Amino acid sequence: MPLTLGEVLALDALRQADAELLGRPAHRERPVTWAHSSEIYEIAPLLSGGELLLTTGLGLAGADAGARRHWVRDVASRGVAAVGIEPGRSLNGMPEEIADEARRCDLPLLVLHRVVPFVRICREVNMRVVSAEVVLLRRSDALVRSLQEAVQAGHGLASVVGEAAEATGLPMVLATLSGQVVAAAGTSGGRAPAGRRPGPAPAAARPRPERVMAHGARAVVRAGGREWGHLHAGEDAGDEQAVFLAERVAGVVGLLLDRSGASGPPTDVARELLADLLDGRTEQVAHGEREVLVRAGLAGFHPAADERVLGLWASAPDLGRTAAALSRALGSAPHLVAPVRGQVLGLLTAGTDADAAGEVARRLGEAAVRTAASLVVGPPVPLSRVGHSLREAVAAGAVGDGRPGAQPSRRAALPRLLAAAPADQVRSLVDDALGPLVAWDRRHGTDLVHTLTAYLRHGSSATRTARVLRLRRQSLHQRLARIEQLLGHRLDEPAEVEYLVTATAAYLLSPGGASYGEARTANSSGK
Q: Per-domain residue ranges for the chain?
A: 5-126, 154-259, 266-417, 421-509
CA distances from 406 to 4, 271, 376, 409, 494 (A): 64, 22, 6, 9, 29
Instruction: Choose the most confident range, by mean pLDDT, from 80-89, 126-135, 199-208.
Output: 80-89
CA distances from 416 to 176, 269, 409 (A): 37, 31, 10
**Structure confidence at residue 305 (pLDDT):** 78
Q: Under CATH, which number does the domain 421-509 receive?
A: 1.10.10.2840
Instruction: With cut-offs at 50, 70 and 90, classify the pLDDT of residue 525.
Output: very low
**Structure confidence at residue 82 (pLDDT):** 96
Average of per-residue pLDDT values in the chain: 87
**Structure confidence at residue 293 (pLDDT):** 85
**Structure confidence at residue 193 (pLDDT):** 41
Q: How many residues does the chain have?
A: 527
Residue (of 413, 278, 280) closest to 342 by Cα position? 278
Residue 93 pLDDT greater than 90, yes or no: no
> What DSSP line would sit under 246-287, residue for residue?
HHHHHHHHHHHHHHTT--S-HHHHHHHHHHHHHHTGGGGSTT
**Structure confidence at residue 160 (pLDDT):** 92
**Structure confidence at residue 223 (pLDDT):** 86
**Structure confidence at residue 264 (pLDDT):** 60
> How does 402-430 read in b/e, with b if 16+ C-beta sit within 10 Å?
eeebbbbbbbbebbbebbeeeeeebeebb
pLDDT > 70: what percent of the chain? 91
Instruction: Choose the most confident range, by mean pLDDT, from 69-73, 154-158, 266-270, 428-432.
Output: 69-73
Lowest mean pLDDT among 304-308, 410-414, 515-519: 515-519
Instruction: With cut-offs at 50, 70 and 90, classify the pLDDT of residue 522.
Output: very low
Strand 405-408 to 374-377 pairing: parallel
Instruction: With cut-offs at 50, 70 and 90, classify the pLDDT of residue 416.
Output: confident
303-335 pLDDT, tens digit per residue, is: 887 889 999 999 999 999 999 999 999 998 889
Question: Do residues 294 and 259 lie in contact, with contact meaning Cβ atoms separated by under 8 Å?
Answer: no
Instruction: Give the mean pLDDT of 380-390.
Output: 91
Q: Is 280 left (phi over 0), alpha (psi -120 to 50) or beta?
A: left
Residue 428 pLDDT greater than 60, yes or no: yes
Q: Distance between CA 377 and CA 503 in Å, rounded?
A: 25
**Structure confidence at residue 401 (pLDDT):** 77
- Reported pTM: 0.60
**Structure confidence at residue 110 (pLDDT):** 96
* Residue 458 burial by Cβ neighbours in a 10 Å radius (0-12, 13-18, 19+): middle
Q: What does the DSSP 8-state code read for residue 1?
A: -
**Structure confidence at residue 66 (pLDDT):** 94
Lowest mean pLDDT among 1-5, 249-253, 326-330: 1-5
Phi, psi torsion values for 204, nearest 5 degrees: -65, -25
Question: Do residues 36 and 122 lie in contact, with contact meaning Cβ atoms separated by under 8 Å?
Answer: yes
Spell out the residues 6+ positions from residue 420 whose beta carbon is closer than 8 angstroms to its own: none
Instruction: With cut-offs at 50, 70 and 90, classify the pLDDT of residue 516.
Output: very low
**Structure confidence at residue 198 (pLDDT):** 36
Instruction: With cut-offs at 50, 70 and 90, classify the pLDDT of residue 285.
Output: low
Domain 5-126, CATH class in plain words: alpha beta
**Structure confidence at residue 284 (pLDDT):** 63
Spell out the residues 6+ positions from residue 229 whose beta carbon is closer than 8 angstroms to its own: 174, 175, 176, 177, 182, 221, 297
Instruction: Give the mean pLDDT of 27-38.
Output: 92
Instruction: Give the mean pLDDT of 183-211.
Output: 64
Residue 523 pLDDT greater than 70, yes or no: no
Radius of gyration of the chain (CA): 37
Instruction: Give the mean pLDDT of 500-524.
Output: 60
- Tell me how far the alpha carbon of residue 133 is from its chain's centroid: 35
Instruction: Give the mean pLDDT of 479-504.
Output: 90
**Structure confidence at residue 205 (pLDDT):** 66
Q: Under CATH, which number does the domain 266-417 receive?
A: 3.30.70
Lowest mean pLDDT among 9-18, 211-220, 488-497: 488-497
Establish how many alpha carbons lie within 13 A of residue 254's alpha carbon, considering only the half-sphere containing its beta carbon.
Answer: 19
Residue 429 pLDDT greater than 70, yes or no: yes
Instruction: Give the mean pLDDT of 164-190.
Output: 88
**Structure confidence at residue 196 (pLDDT):** 40
Question: Do residues 283 and 387 lie in contact, with contact meaning Cβ atoms separated by under 8 Å?
Answer: yes
Residue 199 pLDDT greater than 70, yes or no: no
Lowest mean pLDDT among 14-28, 102-116, 430-444, 506-520: 506-520
Question: Do residues 248 and 258 lie in contact, with contact meaning Cβ atoms separated by under 8 Å?
Answer: no
